Structure 1
C-alpha cells in the first residue's frame, strides 16, 4: 500500500486553503470537515477547483479514476516483475505508467475495472463557493471522500490481470490461426476480434502488433481466387482458393446473366454449384454469367461462358475421305481401310457407318463399331472387312462420297449425321 499513500498525497498539490484574496460566499457545511486535505486509510480524498460546481465535481471523479488506474498499474507491475514470461506485459505496464498517468480519461472506457466508479459511492463531500475580492470572479472548491479499501484494490488487480491475460491469449490464438485459414468466416471473425484488442491494448507494442495482424488478415481477402472445377451445361461448379487450398465461404454469391434463367447457387461442402436453365439461350450469341462474392470490403468476381449446344453432339466431317483396299483386281476390292477427319465439341461413340462410294456395287455397311471419339479434331480409322464388287475403274475423282454416321453422346442419346465429302482411293 506504500504506492497508494504516495499517490494519494500527490493529488493535493496545488490545492491550498482559501487565501486572504478569496472570500467564501457559500459552503455546504459550517465547518470544513477534518478529512479535507488529508490522507485517510482505505479512502481516496481529493479536491478540485473550477468555475462551475459540476465541473469541479467531475474533476474529482476524474482524479479518483486516475488514482485507481495508477494504484492497479503499480501493483500489477510490482507483482509480475520477477516473472520472465511476462516481460512483454511488464514492458506495457511501464509504458502505461509513463504515458497514462493523469490522462486516463482518454482511454478509461477500455479498462473494465473502472466501470464501478460512481458518484453514488462518494461517502462524504464538501464544497465552497469563492469570490476573488479583486476581480470578483467566482470559483468552486469541491472535495470528496471516496471509499477504496485494500480488499477492493486486490480485487481490481486480480480483475486487471485476468482481463489482460485473456486479451493476450486471444491475440496469440489469432496469430496462430493466421497460418491455417479454412474459411472466409474465420477471416471475418479475426478482423472483428482484433478491433476489440486494438481498443484494449494500452501499450504501443501490443497495440501496433494487433494492428499489423489485422492488416495481414485483411490482405487475405485479396489473395482469394475463384477456381473452376467443372463447366457442364446446366451447372457451373467452383470453389474459392487461398494459398492453393480450397477455402469455405458461407455467403451466397450474386450471379447475374442476360441470357441464363432460373439461376440458383447451391453450397456443397467446400464448393459451390451454380445451377441454371439455358433453354432460352441463342447458340449464335455469347451466353455467360458473372459470379460475385463479397469478401470483407472487396468484391471477387468471375465470368463463365456456356455453349447451349455443348451437350448436343455436333460432329463436323471435313477434308477428304481416304479409302485404301488391301487387295484389288479389275472387279473386286478386299478389306478396305477408311480414314475420316471429324470435329466435335463433345465426346461421343460411333455405333455404325454407311458409305455410298461411287463405282462400288453396294454401300459399305460397318455395324457395331462402338468406337469412342474424344472432343476436338480427330482422325478416325475404320476397317471394312470383306469383299466388294468394283463395277468400273474410277478416273474422275471429283465424285463425292456420301454416307451417314450413327453416333451416341455420353448420355446415351443417339443421332444420325449425314455427310457428303470428296474422297481419294487407291483403285
Structure 2
C-alpha cells in the first residue's frame, strides 16, 4: 500500500454523513499492458463479428438466422460507442426488414394434404417455427414441421363445394405477421359426367335392312375437372339387341364438353332404329367410366335420350 485517504460524504437532503476509505495500491505496468492488449483483442473480435454480420444479411438460410443476428447486433450496438454503433443499428434495421419479404409458397398439394415452404426473395429458407393453422370447414389432422418445408394434413368431410374453401396458415416473425390462405377444391378427385345433346349415328355400310358398321358421336359433359376414362357404352333400343362397345379406354380431363367417337361393329336393324320420318327417337343405356384419381368405377344411366341416324 502506497497511500490512503478518507473521503467525507454529506447528504444535503437529510444532513447525514458517511466516509469512504481509499487505498492506493501499486499496479504493475505489465499488468496494465496485458489488460489493454486483451481489450484491444476483444475489440477487434467484436468488430470482425460486426463486419461478418453485416456481410451476411443477404445470405441467411433460416428465420432463426435472422433472429439470432438481430440479437447479436443489439449486443454490439450496446457495446460500441463510436461509428460502429451506427453500423450495428443499421444492421438491425436491415435484418428486421427481411421479415417483410418472407412469403409462403405451395410446393405440392393433394386433396387432404398441403405442402409448402418459406421463401425469401428468390431462395427458400428454413424455420423450426410451428405455424398457426385454421379452416372454416376442414379439420386439421396433423402438422409435420420439417426445416425445409411443412406438411399439413386435413379432413374435408364437412366442407361443401365452395371455391372459397381454404387452409389459413399464419406465422409471427418479429413484429411481422406472415399469412396466406391455401385454397382447395373438394371436387378435385370427383368424376361425374352426363349427356345433354342428341347422339348421332352414321352408317358406314348397310345390307338387306341391316347396318353392318356405323360410327356414333357422343358429347360427354364433365361436371368436374378431375380426369376420367370411359371404358364401356351400352345402348338399348326398342326391339333391338343392346349394342355394346367395350374396351374403349378413352381418357379425358377438364370441366365441360368432351367428344367421344365410337365404332359400332354390332349389326343394327334399320327399321327398328331409323329416325327417318319420326318426330323424335329415343334410346337408353349406360356409360361405364372410371375416376383416374381414385380408381373408382362409376356408371352413368342414359334414359330416354334423343338420337339421330342417317339411315
The normalised TM-score by structure 1 is 0.62
1:136-174 deviation digits (Å, cap 9, x = unpaired)? xx9989865254321222222221222122212222322
Question: 2:289 matched to which residue of 1?
Answer: 407
For 1:190 and 1:397, the matched residues in 2 are separated by: 83
For 1:248 and 1:177, the matched residues in 2 are separated by: 16
1:353-364 alignment, distance < 5 Å = 353-356=233-236, 361-364=240-243
User: 5+ unaligned residues in a row in structure 2: which ranges?
Assistant: 11-16
Secondary structure at the aligned position of 2:248 is classed as coil
State whether structure 2 residue 195 is matched by structure 1 residue 317.
yes
- Give the C-alpha shift of residue 253 in structure 1: 0.8
Question: 2:251 matched to which residue of 1?
Answer: 372
Secondary structure at the aligned position of 1:169 is classed as helix
For 2:128 and 2:240, the matched residues in 1 are separated by: 68
Question: 1:337 matched to which residue of 2?
Answer: 216
RMSD: 3.2
Q: Which has a greater percent of helix?
A: 1
Q: How many matched pairs?
A: 300
2:6–2:22 contact (8 Å) kept in structure 1? yes
User: 5+ unaligned residues in a row in structure 1: which ranges?
Assistant: 1-121, 132-137
1:270-309 alignment, distance < 5 Å = 270-283=148-161, 287-309=165-187
For 2:20 and 2:62, the matched residues in 1 are separated by: 60
Alignment CA distance shift 1:272-1:396 (3 Å): farther
Question: 1:252 matched to which residue of 2?
Answer: 130
Question: 1:31 matched to which residue of 2?
Answer: none
For 2:177 and 2:208, the matched residues in 1 are separated by: 75
The normalised TM-score by structure 2 is 0.82
Alignment CA distance shift 1:324-1:249 (3 Å): farther
1:162-181 alignment, distance < 5 Å = 162-181=41-60
1:20-57 deviation digits (Å, cap 9, x = unpaired)? xxxxxxxxxxxxxxxxxxxxxxxxxxxxxxxxxxxxxx
Secondary structure at the aligned position of 2:240 is classed as coil
Secondary structure at the aligned position of 2:30 is classed as helix
2:252–2:258 contact (8 Å) kept in structure 1? no
- Give the C-alpha shift of residue 346 in structure 1: 1.0
Secondary structure at the aligned position of 2:287 is classed as strand
